Amino acid sequence: MELKLFHQVTLAQLMQDIQDNLHTYKNGSFSYVQEDETLSFSLGVSSSIDLDMLKPIFEYNGKDSSPSERAATDIVFSALTYKAISGIDPSVARDPRLWNYLSHTYFLNYIRNRYPIPLEDEKAVKEVRSHFFCTNEMRSIERNHGVSRLWWHGYIVNRVDELGLDEALKAFLSKTDVRASILERPTTAQNVNVLTGILKALHKSLQSDSALFERKTFRELMKQINLWGGMILLGDLDQDDIDIKISELKERVMAP
């Protein structure tokens, strides 16, 4: 199936009508979005979305699950979304019109179950705006939007060849604080070798006592990596050198 994007005027109208459409976001369908071809346009034949692969996400019904149980699905669903949506590069993946189209069509049921909409209208509008809509800001696309965040998680960690997508996602998404600490530091997320070193350390910890996933410990590790990275040219180091340094910093922050 080809990927589509909203026309900007369609998106603006939906944003304006959030309050009036609250019942639809909670229980209904925006079926007219797909039926009316004037509301969107095709991204092109070079891109596609595999709807069959995404069925576990579309059929997800975890509204009554705990927040931690819902968050635990991110690992599997990020892998599925990244694999199922193909033929797009980061520049296209930063276009809100793509993700906002998907959140109002195929992923509508998933998002309302992953992020239950509050009863109170004011809170409901805020929740809908955060997870069904996104802007081109990094935080909105990589952390908040119900669909784009899944694809971007896969894109970020798929560059770590030594672990593979599934294992890298486990290390990256097992704890919200870990994911946030990595995304909040562009130097870390953008340097593949540093990101690889961090995820390898997390993966090793996950297979033992998970001590590195403690909030205070990991935040301190990220602080030390950031300080170290500010003193040298990380691009001049190979993977082995970075792995050794991160291992040293990890031992330092975990020392009694």
200-215: average pLDDT: 93
What pLDDT does 186 receive? Answer: 64
Q: Across all residues in the chain, what is the average pLDDT?
A: 92
Number of alpha carbons in the 13 Å side-chain half-sphere of residue 204:
11
pLDDT in tens, 92-141: 999 999 999 999 999 999 999 999 999 999 999 999 999 999 988 888 99
* Residues 146, 107 contacting (CB under 8 angstroms): yes
pLDDT-above-70 percentage for the chain: 96
pLDDT of residue 189: 63
What the block records as the tokens of 168 is: 């890298």
Q: Per residue in 168-200, pLDDT tens?
A: 999 999 998 899 888 887 666 678 888 999 999
CA atoms of 111 and 74, how far apart (whole Å):
12
Find the angle CA(156)-CA(60)-CA(176) to the nearest 5 degrees: 40
Alpha helix segments (H runs only) across the chain: 8-16, 22-27, 31-35, 55-58, 67-72, 74-84, 96-103, 108-114, 121-131, 138-139, 148-158, 165-173, 176-183, 186-190, 192-206, 215-229, 239-254
Residue 43, φ and ψ in degrees, nearest 5: -75, -25
The whole-angstrom separation of Cα 75 and Cα 56 is: 13
State the pLDDT at residue 188. Answer: 65
